[in-house]
Amino acid sequence: MNAPIIDPLQGDFPEVIEEYLEHGVMKCIAFNRRGTLLAAGCSDGNCVIWDFETRGIAKELRDKECNAAITSVCWSKYGHRILVSAADKSLTLWDVVSGERITRTILQQTPLQARLHPGSSTPSLCLACPLSSAPMIVDLTTGSTTVLPVSVPDAGNGLVPASRNKFSDGTPPFTPTAACFNKYGDLVYVGNSKGEILIIDYKTIQVHAMVPVTGGAVIKNIVFSRNGQYLLTNSNDRTLRIYENLLPLKDGRRALDDLEATHKELNGVEKLKAVGSKCLTLFRDFQDSVTKVHWKAPCFSGDGEWVVGGCASKGEHKIYIWDRAGHLVKILEGPKEALIDLAWHPVHPIVVSVSLTGLVYIWAKDYTENWSAFAPDFKELEENEEYVEREDEFDLVPETEKVKESDVNEDDEVDIVTLEKDSAFSDSDMSQDELCFLPAIPSPDVPEQQDKGVESSSKLVDSNHSGSPLSEEAGPNGRATNHASSPLEDNSIADDAGGSRMKRKRKPSEKILELQAEKVKKPLKPSGRLSKVKNKSVADLDNEDNSNLYI
């Protein structure tokens, strides 16, 4: 299955696990717009911000009032704020730089996903998708909510009475519904349980278009590409579908009015479908025709050229990557842990996935050295070859054949102020107020406790008396060096020895080691050979043993 179906040199996509991040039990992740910071929501209610360049923790947002698991995290357009939704039905807006909580809103249902309005640098509106109710627009400043329609009314005029802040009954008959803003946030795209994509103006709560999905299966996920030209849906029929956005990126609301004006002869659902056919068109669909797996957390790559989807099977950490033409180019197989969330880096070919155990895996491309990229005439050899030089290979080049001098005027001023435009971002997205990095706060070193030092030294003393081979070594001045001594004592010995302590030590001979073992097992008798050994130093015995080797 991992055999390359197309030439892998046609595009960059991740191949292997490069590293993993570990901090508590992480549940969901999100990159900022530049991909320099990675936010991860944990099961204890905290939000951790990783510096993706250094792979270190830049900041941790702690809410004393929230101990429930985080269900989603979302960055604002310029990265100054983060919206966190939790399983305790709360929506919390954080200031990233100061680490302070701005607002906290409690909903009536648990929000599975929450997205800030993409058209503002300091958004106060968000789109929340609760567990068992229709998607809603939440004003984080006032706490008011506006429920969006999830089906087309019978009257066909697109108007649905909005219920604010409360539902008619405590358990609305809605399944979890997917929804997202378009690129600039003037329209909301909702995927309902009937297999329909509704295009809604959230300000007037009016449905302007409807696009039926083939098969009519429940739409579980819906997401736009970064450039806003493609829409990706994940349905319950185990199929991912790409729709091409035919509306202009800006002033989409005005374009809808023009389309409605051209279909005045139609009414009701037929009119909504006619307008919807001019808004979205099916581009491609993806599925695994062999295993028929369900998909989880599908998304686009940063440039929109690749589509990635995680396998929703238990005990499998597989990530499928397709090109936009529909070819399967890679299957990434990770550890035997279920995948719960993933995200593609906005700029680089890097995929970050979250496992059920709370680890974050970083998938990157496996680069190989290609010297021909630096020297086009370089040729790699499989084995040594005999080379015969040409007759004129090392001849001096005549002056007439020298390379012509460059026509560049060296007196021209070099512009070092103007920033080059990044092809990955449009001109309208450029902002000098964007937050890309957080200042690092160094943590002080924890001093070692004295009792640990005493305990470790006592263990060394015990090992010294146990007769281990490396417990004692002969010093250059004839004294036995005790390894249980502290570094200060070792320094004092080195000073007394006049620098000779730094020489390489000799390893004790087998005879000395046998004598050391006998000393520990039983006391030595002052008779015969052992009485003479007792009066000798260890160094003398070592020298005597070495001299016997030459006899």
On average, the pLDDT of the chain sits at 79
Q: In angstroms, how far is CA 488 from the centroid of its own chain? A: 46
Per-residue pLDDT tens over the stretch 281-319: 999 999 988 888 999 999 999 999 999 999 999 889 999
Six-digit token pair at 59?
A: 């900041």
Under the banding of pLDDT at 50, 70 and 90, the label for residue 412 is confident
pTM of the prediction? 0.72
Q: Based on the number of CB atoms within 10 Å of its own CB, is 83 exposed (0-12), middle (13-18) or buried (19 or more)?
A: buried
Under the banding of pLDDT at 50, 70 and 90, the label for residue 393 is confident
Per-residue pLDDT tens over the stretch 263-281: 888 888 999 999 999 999 9
Closest CA to 52 of 84, 71, 74, 30: 30
Is pLDDT at 230 greater than 80 in this prediction? yes
SS3 for 118-162 is CCCCCCCEEEEEECCCCCEEEECCCCCEEECCCCCCCCCCCECCC
pLDDT of residue 541: 47
Instruction: Look at the block and give the residue holding tokens 């906290």.
Output: 104
Mean pLDDT over 525-531 rounds to 46
Cα–Cα distances (Å) from 468 to 54, 475, 523, in that order, read: 44, 17, 18
Distance CA 180, CA 222 (A): 7
The total of other beta-carbon atoms located within 10 Å of residue 316's CB is 17
Per-residue pLDDT tens over the stretch 194-225: 999 999 999 999 999 999 999 899 999 999 99
Q: With b meaning 16 or more CB within 10 Å and e meaning fewer, what string describes 122-160?
A: ebbbbbbbbeebbbbbbebeeeebbbbbbbbeeeeebeb
Per-residue pLDDT tens over the stretch 84-121: 999 999 999 999 999 999 999 999 999 999 999 998 88
Closest CA to 476 of 454, 499, 457, 460: 499
